[in-house]
Amino acid sequence: MTTTYSSRVPAAAAPAGIAAARATDLSKVYGQGETKVVALDRVSVEFRKAEFTAIMGPSGSGKSTLMHCMAGLDSVSSGSALIGDTELTKLKDKKLTKLRRDRIGFIFQAYNLLPTLNALENITLPLDIAGRKTEQAWLDRVIETVGLSGRLKHRPSQLSGGQQQRVAVARALASRPEIIFGDEPTGNLDSRAGAEVLGFLRNSVRELGQTIVMVTHDPVAASYADRVVFLADGRIVDDMSGPTAESVLERMKNLDARVRTN
Ligand SMILES: Nc1ncnc2c1ncn2[C@@H]1O[C@H](COP(=O)(O)OP(=O)(O)OP(=O)(O)O)[C@@H](O)[C@H]1O
Ligand SMILES: [Mg+2]
């Protein structure tokens, strides 16, 4: 039997209805009165399964807020946010915590590693907390690819910033969550380590069907993604498939110009 899709399904050809995460008319307002800030203004966006999406935009455009609202780390002011078929805004705290733990992986700028645990213990911590068994072959592969094999017994304070970031990446991948959200996951790495981690993230999408959404300021980092969503002033202003560093840079320049003239 022939199959309709090649192993690399182009982003645009992905069948409808298989979004890993979705926001509909999502707004987020911080504060009130004079300090009121509309961080997100009726954003609708879908992140398809097994796709690597980068989110870009000027500082303060709402990238982190969008990610936090879609990952259930922050409440929304109006609209909806779904992980798979689960509406986050309807969940009580306990269920939300469980959903974050079981179904979402996080990679943040501040690595959130526990100082008293060594690298390996930090990587497997979410699995241990969830009482899930480690898939050893997968774990070995993750550890080797992020280049931590010789550092597993080291505590975070004994690791460089880049190595700590790689522990955080390995930790997010270890449980094979439905979706991984990263806020500048390679922001603190030198270009070689950054390229390795980005290559690994991309491979985990291509070969293992992992879904990844990553905020970045770096057009080169964004070029590893299948798609780039551009935010400005809390709104989605552009959506690009098959980005290259050059095409992203060009789009960013236009965006900056647009923001300046507003
Ligand atoms: N807790 C908060 N209270 C009040 N305002 C906030 C809060 N968090 C974010 N904001 C505001 O919301 C807007 C969007 O912030 P956000 O952190 O999402 O931007 P960003 O695109 O991630 O920026 P950066 O690239 O600098 O990280 C900004 O104007 C910011 O000042
Ligand atoms: Mg941010």
CB-ligand 1 contact for 100 (6 Å cutoff): no
Measured in angstroms, how far is the CA atom of residue 137 from the centroid of ligand 2?
34
CB-ligand 1 contact for 31 (6 Å cutoff): yes
For 125-153, how does the pLDDT look when each residue is reduced to its tens digit (9 = 90+)? 988 888 888 889 989 988 887 778 899 99
Alpha-carbon span 37 to 4, nearest angstrom? 46
For 33-87, how does the pLDDT look when each residue is reduced to its tens digit (9 = 90+)? 999 999 999 999 999 999 999 999 999 999 999 999 999 999 999 999 999 999 9
Written as six digits, the tokens of 244 are 């290259």
The pick from 29, 36, 38, 65 for probing ligand 1's pocket by mutation, whose C-beta has the most ligand atoms within 8 angstroms, reads 65
Q: Measured in whole angstroms, how far is the alpha carbon of residue 55 from the centre of its chain?
A: 9
**Model pTM score:** 0.86
Query: Which range has highest mean pLDDT (114-128, 130-144, 179-193)?
Result: 114-128
Q: 136-145 and 119-130 are packed helices; what angle lies between their axes, rounded to 10 degrees?
A: 140
CB-ligand 1 contact for 32 (6 Å cutoff): no
For 232-242, how does the pLDDT look when each residue is reduced to its tens digit (9 = 90+)? 999 999 999 99
CA angle 218, 54, 178 (to 5 degrees): 140
